[in-house]
Amino acid sequence: MALDIDSLVRPMVQAASASLGKTWPGVAKYATQQFEYTATTLVMIEEDSTAGTITQAQAQSLLDAQKLATQNVMLALQTMSLVAIQNAINAALGAIKTAVNTAVGFTLIA
């Protein structure tokens, strides 16, 4: 039976959300989009393999490349999360900067 994108995306999203737990809502949109890309690639690999237009070795290599691309997307999400935390801390410090600097009499928080 031929693969279809929706039936591949659903279990991937379920498995990833269970694995990520509380972190999932923050990455759900971007990660789901990436799983849709991955599922589409798998469907295309299956179609091309069945049609004999790619070899088994090419199919394996394409899957390996897709895993690397997905890893890059997850790493991008990690960077985005760190940037968000960094900005939150700096915004919090910025909010008290004047009060702290005035109290100590010098520029403690730049």
Partner 1 sequence: MRVSFANRATTGAGVRSFTLARILLLSLMSLAATGCTVSLVAPYDETTVTSVTDLLKRTDMFLIQQQSLLDSGQQSKTTYENNKAWYDQTEVDLNAIIIRAQAIPKNDTTVKQLKNLEAALQGVIDNNKAGFTSEYLALERRIVDQAIGAILAAEFSKKQP
**Of 4 and 47, which CB lies nearer to partner 1 in the complex structure?**
47
Query: CA 46, CA 3: separation in Å to the nearest integer?
Result: 7
Paired tokens of 51: 């049609």
**Of 5 and 62, which CB lies nearer to partner 1 in the complex structure?**
62
**Of 96, 77, 73, 97, whose CA–CA distance to 85 is shortest?**
77
**Of 19 and 107, which CB lies nearer to partner 1 in the complex structure?**
107
**Of 79, 57, 68, 66, whose CA–CA distance to 37 is shortest?**
66
Residue 69 in the binding site for partner 1 (CB under 8 A): yes
Q: Binding residues for partner 1, per CB under 8 A?
A: 34, 37, 41, 44-45, 48, 51, 53-55, 57-58, 61-62, 64-66, 68-73, 75-76, 78-80, 82-83, 85-87, 89-90, 93-94, 107-110
